[in-house]
Structure 1
């Protein structure tokens, strides 16, 4: 009985029972699909993480503002979706810093996280930026197929607690797959958090 009281007093017993995963979306904002995704996330009360391209942010600033207003976490992808490890240090940092400045101009907040395209990062650049590199645990290669059920199954077959799931908001099939994944994982007792919540725990 004393043990039960201790757990109840800590207020953590329920929290510990919740399995968490993070949904992330690369390459946006997309003029055709990001807003549909945002609507579906809001309906499901899910927060996600968006790694944005600076060039696309310049084209679609209102979508960036909406992502931020809806309470999602925004990180840097790069400016032009280039392999940063193939660039000089200066050119790579320009890709990062330019994108961050665009995001700051639209949201009033600097990005704290970066996902380099192709997962290719130059380790020495850790000294040049305070951003935390975020990769992924589950990659269903959603850009290779337009079958949302296939994408969702690839995730469901591999996903585990505290995983980071990589998706893109550039196609209808990826957005629909995201909704399937959310609905199925909700049914299995998972909750969705931003990558920040996973990393800082």
Structure 2
């Protein structure tokens, strides 16, 4: 089941959720500095083995008020795994994030956006997709990432980016500056959906997409 939400925000200022996948990595600290300088909150869909390797960055993400979601332990296509491996990828990541930050993740973004009924059932939490994809994993160019995001963003969007890409991290200051000038608020995914759904909770086992969302299998 995929829930489609209208791209509207009931608040006086438009909201957007910036999300970053695959970290924490060597460029995450610089990204956190940038977000802090702009008073922006984001959602990090962290990979479990990366959290284990850089626990101080996951703690810093949580301590700064950012949201941390589950992006599997080792970034495989979850739809191709055995039941045991599927559960291990999800549960092991939840455990390391909780042990590191003190809070278990409440959202899952499956690697590559791939999910099916079995993955949704195993997740035990809402699955979050995206509506803006600058393809920064493919086109590693700061100017491209900046233009692609600024040209596409509308109120209520979820933007997919990757903090393991230095060209993406370099694009974020201008993205924040321009969108701030347009009056945007930078909120976490959970905050955005609470606004869009008038405080109704997201449902475990449901995949949340958006109009114009990128098809599964295109991004990490």
Give the TM-score, by structure 2 length: 0.81
RMSD: 1.2
Structure 2 counterpart of 1:29: 24
Contact 2:34 2:172 in 1 (8 A): no
Distance (whole Å) between structure 2 residues aligned to residue 123 and residue 173 of structure 1: 35
SS at match of 1:144: coil
Residues 84-163 of structure 1 correspond to what in structure 2 (within 5 A)?
Answer: 84-163=78-157
Structure 1 counterpart of 2:64: 70
Distance (whole Å) between structure 2 residues aligned to residue 129 and residue 171 of structure 1: 27
Structure 2 counterpart of 1:9: none
Contact 1:89 1:125 in 2 (8 A): no
Distance (whole Å) between structure 2 residues aligned to residue 144 and residue 136 of structure 1: 17
Structure 2 counterpart of 1:188: 182
Shifted more, 111-120 versus 124-133: the winner is 124-133
Q: Which runs of 5+ in 1 are unaligned?
A: 1-14
Contact 1:28 1:51 in 2 (8 A): yes
Contact 2:79 2:116 in 1 (8 A): yes
Give the TM-score, by structure 1 length: 0.89
Give the number of the structure with larger relative contact order, counting CA–CA contacts within 8 Å between residues 6 or more apart: 2
Contact 2:108 2:127 in 1 (8 A): yes
Among 23, 40, 48, the residue aligned to 2:42: 48
Q: Which runs of 5+ in 2 are unaligned?
A: 1-9, 196-220
Shifted more, 155-164 versus 124-133: the winner is 124-133
SS at match of 2:105: coil
Residue 175, structure 1, aligned to residue 169, structure 2: yes
Contact 1:104 1:110 in 2 (8 A): yes
Residue 16, structure 1, aligned to residue 11, structure 2: yes
Aligned residue pair count: 186
Contact 1:26 1:168 in 2 (8 A): yes
